[in-house]
C-alpha cells in the first residue's frame, strides 16, 4: 500500500549560487560526508547536489507534516548497480519503522537546468 508520494525540483544554478556564497559549509548542513564526496567526485558536482537536495525535500512531502527531522537523517546512497535509494537515520528511521514503511522508492533525474526527485513510500 502507498503511504505517501513526494516530488521536488531544484534549479541546478541554485546549488552553484549556494556554493559560491557559503562554500561547502552549506552542503555540510544538509548532506552527509558520503553524499558530498560522491557529488564532488564528478566533474560537475552541481547536478548531483541538486538531486540529493530534491530527494530530501521530496521525502518531506511524502511524509507530510507528521514529523520534523534533520536533513542529515536522510542519506541518498547508490546500490552496487548505481540505483539510488534512501538510507534513513535517527528520528526518521524510527518514524518509518513505527509507521511500518517497508520501502522508500527513489527516482532521480537531471537535465540542463534542473534536478528532480520522486519518492514513494510503501507500507
Give the pLDDT confidence score for residue 85 in this predicted structure: 95
What would the pLDDT profile of 83-115 be if each residue is shown by its tens digit?
999 999 999 999 999 999 999 999 999 999 999
Other Cβ atoms within 10 Å of 97 Cβ, number: 11
Q: Which of 16, 29, 61, 102 is catalytic?
A: 61
Whether 61 is catalytic:
yes
Give the pLDDT confidence score for residue 84 in this predicted structure: 96
The Cβ-side half-sphere exposure at 56, using a 13 Å CA radius, reads 24
Domains of the chain, start order: 2-122 (3.90.470.20)
Question: Above 90 in pLDDT, residue 66?
Answer: no
Whether 91 is catalytic:
no
Q: Which of 99, 105, 110, 112 is catalytic?
A: 110
Amino acid at each position: 500500500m502507498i503511504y505517501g508520494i513526494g516530488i521536488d525540483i531544484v534549479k541546478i544554478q541554485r546549488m552553484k549560487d549556494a556554493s559560491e556564497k557559503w562554500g561547502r559549509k552549506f552542503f555540510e548542513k544538509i548532506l552527509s560526508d558520503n553524499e558530498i564526496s560522491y557529488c564532488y567526485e564528478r566533474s560537475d558536482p552541481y547536478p548531483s547536489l541538486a538531486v540529493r537536495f530534491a530527494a530530501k525535500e521530496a521525502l518531506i512531502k511524502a511524509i507530510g507534516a507528521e514529523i520534523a527531522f534533520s536533513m542529515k537523517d536522510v542519506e541518498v546512497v547508490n546500490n552496487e548497480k548505481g540505483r539510488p535509494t534512501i538510507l534513513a537515520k535517527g528520528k526518521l528511521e524510527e518514524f518509518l519503522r513505527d509507521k511500518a514503511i517497508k520501502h522508500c522508492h527513489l527516482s532521480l533525474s537531471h537535465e540542463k537546468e534542473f534536478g528532480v526527485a520522486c519518492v514513494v513510500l510503501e507500507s
